[in-house]
Chains A and B, each alone.
Chain A
Amino acid sequence: MKITRSIFLILTMLISCSGKGSNLSPDCNIDAGPCIKSNMKKEISFGIEPRPVRAMESLHFRVKLANYKNTQSVIVDLSMPEMSMGYNQVPLNKTGINTFEGRGIIPFCPSGKGLWKASVIINDKVEERFLINVHY
């Protein structure tokens, strides 16, 4: 029983300080320019300015859509793929034909891991996910 408790304690404390391991890596280089993903005939271009993309700065998000019809709302949901980071959603405004823009902030994570997931939500449905690297 005591051994079980010891193992539980060690595991709990080690998990507390280590975070989860993972082989995930960015699927596009957001620092080089907008990332583009297509599915069937639909296409989403996702870009962030200024570059390189840094945490704790006011960032300009731009989404361009191709072959999407009746787009009512576009939101960028920012999260970390390995850790719960709460709700950080950037609502985008229509600024041109099939172009949506808005401002948001990516917070700094003291774990040092800079891998973030930006999910593009169109009409309340997640259409595409971009794994990007953010500089701290």
Chain B
Amino acid sequence: MFTIKSVYILMFTAGLFGGFGHCLGMCGPIVASYSVALKSKTLTPHVLYNLGRISTYVLLGGMVGMTGSFIGIAGHIQGLQRFIMILSGIMIILMGLGLVGLVPKISFMKNRGLLLFSFIKRINHLSSENLTIGSFYPIGIFLGFIPCGLVYTALIAAARSGMEAENHFLGFFEGIVMMLLFGLGTMPASLLFGKVMSIIGEKMRVRLYRLSSLIMIVMGLIFVIRVM
């Protein structure tokens, strides 16, 4: 159907065009939520977040390429993906609350040793502009598991290439390359969106916080409801 090279180009362009048309729909709220509160003016946090996300894609690409089976791998990680999506939704809601300073008001839990408080405190830490640059790579890895139709399609193509490969090692390599190209294709949209959100967030911090807080809470709820 396709030559090897045309498949690589297709994977990159699928990521590039899908990034603007599709990824912003799923990852946009996440990128927006961390970008609005970001103090750093450089692209580094955005690049690290994206590299983390791509690392997950590459890992999954290697797995489906090696086994030549998308269903086998997807079936195993579906539960984990749902969990991550719910957790992301809750994170976005809490970050939304944190933006307008609502999270500290529930600090009555502080001395009760509740796990929930520790979690909320960490999330509040995220929204309090204290996030270190090094945190963005692991966040990207974690959120790379969020269920996404476009990523699934790319993984199906990677599995198909793996199935047609001469051996498991070549299939593994093929899956990695395909998902790497796909991930790199999605980067421009995510970087641009993140940077725009950072600039807007910086210029209109106070007014924006109230507004974006409300939007983030709604988005978080949508994330959770979608999985239910």
B21 near A57: Cβ-Cβ < 8 Å: no
> How many whole Å from B167's CB to the nearest CB in chain A?
22
Q: Can you list 13 A-B pairs, Cβ within 8 angstroms, ordered by A? A: A9-B200, A15-B25, A57-B71, A58-B71, A85-B22, A85-B149, A86-B157, A88-B157, A91-B1, A105-B70, A107-B152, A107-B153, A110-B85
Tell me the B residues contacting A by CB distance below 8 Å: 1, 10-11, 14-15, 17-18, 21-22, 24-26, 28-29, 32, 70-71, 74-75, 78, 85, 146-150, 152-154, 156-157, 182, 193, 196-197, 200, 203-204, 207-208, 211-212, 215, 218-219, 222, 226-227
Contact check, A16 vs B32: say whether CB atoms are below 8 A apart.
yes
Interface flags, A13-29, vs B, CB<8A=1, else 0: 11111010000000000
- A14 in complex: contacting residue of B146, B197, B207, B215, CB < 8 Å: B215
Q: Judge whether A19 and B156 touch: CB under 8 Å.
A: no
C-alpha spacing A22/B194, complex, angstroms:
28
Instruction: Report the Cα distance A8→B200, complex, angstroms.
Output: 10
* Majority DSSP secondary structure for residues of A touching B: mixed
Which of A5, A80, A91: most chain B Cβ within 10 A? A5
- A85 contacts B150, C-beta separation under 8 Å: yes
B29 near A86 (CB under 8 angstroms)? no
